Structure 1
Amino acid sequence: MMSVCGYRWYPEYTVEEQYRDFNQRQYICTVRVFPDYPGAEKPIHWSYGLGVTVDMAVQDAAYSMLTIMRARHALLQNSELCYVPASQSGEEGYISGVYFDSSMEDPLLQSTVEMLENRDRDARALRMELYATRARLWTALTQLAPVVQTGYGEMEMLNPVRTHLPAHVDWPAIGGVTPLRGPLLPPVRGPRPHPCPYGSQGS
């Protein structure tokens, strides 16, 4: 799609970890698309993705960018990418899907187009449900923490283990050039109720 639109064939991804207590950390990915001419340093398009793993955040950002580009480029309507779902900014800042009437398509393709649109709706709905549920869980664990810390419960209650997906349904590896993990942020001043997941930091 990027080659058809006249952009560099490789985008640029930046992933940042958002530390949250109770083993609820998540990652936010920013993807930038640059024009395909020498010396271009400013991106034309950028989008964001959210995930509970690095791979999930990158895949979310890539899909979001794909649907945004599909909505903004009319020339894709007459290409092999015409059935990719499109999206535009919607309520509360979410990227909402934009669908067309598939009844005018070739009968052999009509059911395929409908399936793509339904899977896109499923993915968007499940993503919103996932992060709304995680926010409610974090609130509940915050309220539970004082009770556990006084000895009325096991500490494992405050750090639930994330679900590990089987290999055949896990997110695919993102590939590309991945630099080493950068330095940790400076230590937080004042009391911190929960340890950093990567161990204690030096002064």
Structure 2
Amino acid sequence: LIRRIKTLSSYINKDANVYALGKLLPTATWGIFQPQADRRNEMCDPATNDPIIIWTVGHVASSWFTKNGEPERQASLTVVPVSHSLAEQYTLLLAALSTPPLSASHIPLSLNGVRAIKWQSEKGSSEPILFDEVYDARDVFTNKKDMPHIAATELQKNDLVLLEGKITRYRTQDEDKKWTLLRVQMELLAVSLLSCAVLQDSRKPISGIREISGLRI
């Protein structure tokens, strides 16, 4: 398990645009508008304008997917990185990327963790659907289609997971109720369980997932 943690925590795959939290692309910047892909609010590789996928290995501090047994419109998962310094660096990064820049004290520490959010309802839809990009990687972390699914609600506090996300920004109001502020957050893309209690396996093929050749960690 220690070997897997070290490998995942230092992982870089430039072809797949995947970077561990402590190994982010130095030239990463906000994307640009293109007719088929408006990336202005996503952190991207400037060479390709593709969003950067960030891997964070850590323990679940809190999760919020349902309320009274029903999916919430917005889900969240907070993970405490295995390296405490990474949590501090992440907080400073969010502060620096905000417009105008914030002091680190204005960024919620989220229990010294990385808080990722995900809307569970599509635009124009009134019915939230439970986030389902959650996988059992206790035996091996590989491409999504080859890992069993587990329910997001089965994730427990202190579970060791790999959180996959991307950095995005959104507008919010200033003191004068004008939409002049830009704040930064992690958008949840997927979660893979690395270590916890036994869960029931459930395999099904997944479409639309970018595969990484030879990935087995």
- Structure 2 length-normalised TM: 0.23
More strand by share: 2
Q: Could you say which structure has the greater relative contact order, defined with CA pairs below 8 angstroms and 6 or more residues apart? A: 2
More helix by share: 1
Structure 1 or 2, whichever has the larger Rg, is 1
